[in-house]
Amino acid sequence: MLDSVQTSQPLVQMDKIVKTFGGIHAVEGVSADLYPGEVVGVLGHNGAGKSCLMRILSGAMRANSGEIRVNGQPVDMKSPQDAREFGIETIYQTLALANHLDAPANLFMGRELKTRFGNLDERRMLSEATVALRQLNPNFKNLRDPVARLSGGQRQVIAIARAIYFQAKILIMDEPTAALGPSETAMVADLIMRLKNDGIGIFLISHDMHDVFELCDRVMVMNKGRNVGAFRIEEVNKDDILSLIVKGTLPDGWKPRGGTS
């Protein structure tokens, strides 16, 4: 039986996606979907295909075959700009921030606001960035400092605010709490839950099992380019997931946990 989060149409569906590099099958016939207000963990060792699959969804890479549908409609995404037009934003582990620029400049990088004379509207960008950033973190200060001087948590806030400001409905988050301290990890986890409550769907790439079991509604595990298991989070435990990541199979005698099937 579907959870209430899955009673609506999926935000995005990836159907039988294939990506090859010469004779190497990086992604082999993988299907996945994401519903409004849902966090789906995408797990696997380095080279398992998870990042490749998400790069295809983000428009950064083209699949050899398969179909992507957004809100039920087939789409052809040739670039990250195409993905953004369909409401898909990616927050990479590196955050793709320009260290020498301040928070407003990073938030609007590539999509700068202009005056009616065609000049950069720095005053409006500062005003808009202040509202956007403080909605996520009321204590956000130092907006005019180069982001190189900001903490990891503040940098994550900028990256998330950038996606939300431009009305993303689907977020791909790559290791969002990597290299953060406990308090900043908790802050980013709280932001993810707030985004979820706002109806945004999130694909969460993570190696952190605590994050996965704390934040995700469902999990899919990739191994050697294949989806080797997709479950609601209450159906599995950490040992089950590790078995899928390492061996590509569930432990012997496995049965769904939590009374579901």
Q: How confident is the model over 188-200, as pLDDT tens digits?
A: 899 999 999 999 9
Residues 42, 24: Cα–Cα separation, whole Å: 21
Any domain includes 108: no
Helix (H) or strand (E) holding 215: helix 209-215
Name the residue type at position 15.
D
Give me the pLDDT at residue 176, please. Answer: 87
Q: Are 35 and 196 in contact (CB under 8 A)?
A: no
Residues 96, 91: Cα–Cα separation, whole Å: 8
Name the residue type at position 232.
R
Give me the pLDDT at residue 13, please. Answer: 97
Question: What is the mean pLDDT of the segment spanning 199-221?
Answer: 94
Residue 215 belongs to domain spanning: 4-96+168-247
Any domain includes 178: yes
Q: Would you place residue 256 in the very low, low, confident or very high pLDDT band (cuts 50, 70, 90)?
A: confident
Q: Are 202 and 40 in contact (CB under 8 A)?
A: yes
- N- to C-terminal Cα separation, the chain: 9
Residues 77, 60: Cα–Cα separation, whole Å: 9
Give me the pLDDT at residue 2, please. Answer: 41
Strands (E), the chain: 12-21, 24-34, 39-43, 65-70, 73-75, 88-91, 170-174, 201-205, 218-223, 226-232
Any domain includes 146: no
pTM above 0.85, yes or no: yes
Any domain includes 159: no
Give the CATH number, domain containing residue 182.
3.40.50.300
Question: What is the mean pLDDT of the segment spanning 118-128?
Answer: 94
Q: Are 66 and 14 in contact (CB under 8 A)?
A: yes
Q: Which residue has the tokens 């934040």?
A: 215
Handedness of CA 235, 51, 172, 158 (dihedral sign): positive
Q: How many domains does the chain have?
A: 1
Q: Would you place residue 119 in the very low, low, confident or very high pLDDT band (cuts 50, 70, 90)?
A: very high
Any domain includes 88: yes
Instruction: Give the three-class secondary structure for 208.
Output: coil
Any domain includes 175: yes
Q: In terms of Cα–Cα distance, which of 45, 46, 13, 47 is closest to 30?
A: 13
Name the residue type at position 209.
M
Tell me: pLDDT of 7 over 80.
Answer: no
Cα separation values, 148 from 7, 93, 132, 145, Å: 43, 15, 20, 8
Tell me: pLDDT of 179 over 80.
Answer: no
Any domain includes 32: yes
Tell me: pLDDT of 259 over 90.
Answer: no
Question: What is the mean pLDDT of the segment spanning 201-219?
Answer: 94
Give me the pLDDT at residue 231, please. Answer: 96
Residues 222, 30: Cα–Cα separation, whole Å: 9
Any domain includes 64: yes
